[in-house]
A and B are shown apart, each in its own frame.
Chain A
Amino acid sequence: MSAPTKTHPELSAVFNKDEERVNWHDETLWWIRQKRDKSANSIPEWEVLREKASQIKSNALSNLAGYLVSFEEKAKANGIIVHWAADAQEHNQIVHQILQKHGIRQLVKSKSMLTEECHLNEYLEKQGLEVIDSDLGERIVQLAKEPPSHIVLPCIHKKKEEIGDLFHQYLGVAAGTSDPQILTEAARVHLRETFLTRKAALTGVNFAIAETGEFVVCTNEGNADMGAHLADVHIACMGIEKIIPKRKHLGVFLRLLARSATGQPITTYSSHFKKPRAGQEMHLVLVDNGRTIQMGREDFRASLKCIRCGACMNTCPVYRRSGGHSYHNAISGPIGAILAPNLDREKYADLPFASTLCGSCTNVCPVKIDIHQQLYKWRQVIVQEGYATSAKKMSMKIMNYTLSSPGVYRTAGKAGRWVLKYIPFAVNNHFNPWYKQRDMPEVPKESFGEWYKKNVK
Chain B
Amino acid sequence: MSRDKILAALRQNQPELVPLPAAMPLERVEILELQAKFKAMAEGIGSTVHLVDEFAAIHPLITARFSGEKRIVSTIKELVSAGIPAFEFDSDPHSYEDVDVAIFKSNLGVAENSALWLTEDQMGIRVLPFITQHIVMVVPLSAIVPDMHTAYQKIGEAEYDFGTFIAGPSKTADIEQSLILGAHGPRSMTIFIYA
- Taking beta carbons and an 8 Å cutoff, which residues of A are in contact with B? 28, 31-32, 43, 45, 48-49, 51-52, 55-56, 58-59, 61-65, 68-69, 84-86, 90, 134-137, 140, 153-156, 159-160, 163, 180-181, 183-185, 188, 191-192, 195-196, 220-223, 225-226, 229-230, 240, 245, 247-248, 250-252, 254-255, 262, 264-275, 277-279, 286, 288, 292-293, 295-296, 298, 301
A275 touches B162 (CB 8 A): yes
Knowing A61-B14, A220-B170, the reply to whether A230 touches B127 (Cβ < 8 A) is: yes
B175 touches A265 (CB 8 A): no
Which interface class (under 10, 10 to 19, 20 to 34, 35 or more) fits B?
A: 35 or more
A268 touches B131 (CB 8 A): no
B18 touches A65 (CB 8 A): no
B184 touches A223 (CB 8 A): yes
Residues of B within 8 A of A55 (CB): 18, 20-21
Q: Residue-by-residue, is B112-152 near A (CB-CB < 8 Å gives 1, otherwise 0)? A: 11110000100001110011000000000000000111111
Interface residue ranges of B146-162 to A (CB < 8 Å): 147-153, 155, 157, 160-162
- Among B10, B147, B186, find the residue whose CB has the most chain A CB atoms closer than 10 A: B10
A250 touches B91 (CB 8 A): no
B23 touches A62 (CB 8 A): no
B32 interface contact, C-beta 8 A: no
Task: Tell me the bound Cα distance from A28 to B175 in angstroms.
Answer: 11
A265 touches B113 (CB 8 A): yes
Minimum CB–CB distance from A301 to chain B (whole Å) comes to: 7
Task: Tell me the bound Cα distance from A59 to B19 in angstroms.
Answer: 6
B148 touches A250 (CB 8 A): yes
Q: Residue-by-residue, is B12-27 near A (CB-CB < 8 Å gives 1, otherwise 0)? A: 1111111111011000
Task: Tell me the bound Cα distance from A293 to B178 in angstroms.
Answer: 40
A84 touches B6 (CB 8 A): yes
Minimum CB–CB distance from B29 to chain A (whole Å) comes to: 13
Minimum CB–CB distance from A135 to chain B (whole Å) comes to: 7
A221 touches B17 (CB 8 A): no
Residues of B within 8 A of A188 (CB): 182-184
Task: Tell me the bound Cα distance from A50 to B185 in angstroms.
Answer: 31
The 4 closest A-B pairs by CB, nearest first: A222-B185, A296-B13, A265-B113, A221-B183
A272 touches B15 (CB 8 A): no
B9 touches A288 (CB 8 A): yes
A65 touches B7 (CB 8 A): yes
Minimum CB–CB distance from B142 to chain A (whole Å) comes to: 20
Residues of B within 8 A of A195 (CB): 184
Task: Tell me the bound Cα distance from A175 to B97 in angstroms.
Answer: 30
Residues of B within 8 A of A43 (CB): 112
Minimum CB–CB distance from A245 to chain B (whole Å) comes to: 7
- Taking beta carbons and an 8 Å cutoff, which residues of B are in contact with A? 1-3, 5-7, 9-21, 23-24, 41, 44-45, 91, 93-94, 97, 110, 112-115, 120, 125-127, 130-131, 147-153, 155, 157, 160-178, 180, 182-186
B185 touches A56 (CB 8 A): no
B172 touches A298 (CB 8 A): no
Residues of B within 8 A of A262 (CB): 173
A90 touches B2 (CB 8 A): yes
Q: Which residue of B is nearest A139, CB measured?
A: B174
B160 touches A274 (CB 8 A): yes
Of the candidates A90, A135, A191, A248, which one forms a contact with B174 in the assembled complex, judged by CB atoms under 8 Å apart? Answer: A135
Minimum CB–CB distance from B151 to chain A (whole Å) comes to: 7
Of the candidates A49, A221, A226, which one forms a contact with B131 in the assembled complex, judged by CB atoms under 8 Å apart? Answer: A226
B178 touches A295 (CB 8 A): no
Q: Which residue of B is nearest A256, CB measured?
A: B148
Knowing A153-B174, A220-B172, A229-B93, the reply to whether A295 touches B10 (Cβ < 8 A) is: yes
Minimum CB–CB distance from B32 to chain A (whole Å) comes to: 19
A222 touches B2 (CB 8 A): no
Task: Tell me the bound Cα distance from A220 to B160 in angstroms.
Answer: 22
- Among B93, B110, B167, B175, find the residue whose CB has the most chain A CB atoms closer than 10 A: B175
Q: Which residue of B is nearest A42, CB measured?
A: B112
Of the candidates A48, A185, A274, which one forms a contact with B163 in the assembled complex, judged by CB atoms under 8 Å apart? Answer: A274
B20 touches A245 (CB 8 A): yes
Q: Which residue of A is nearest B10, CB measured?
A: A65
B10 touches A247 (CB 8 A): no
B24 touches A52 (CB 8 A): yes
A134 touches B184 (CB 8 A): yes
Minimum CB–CB distance from A183 to chain B (whole Å) comes to: 6
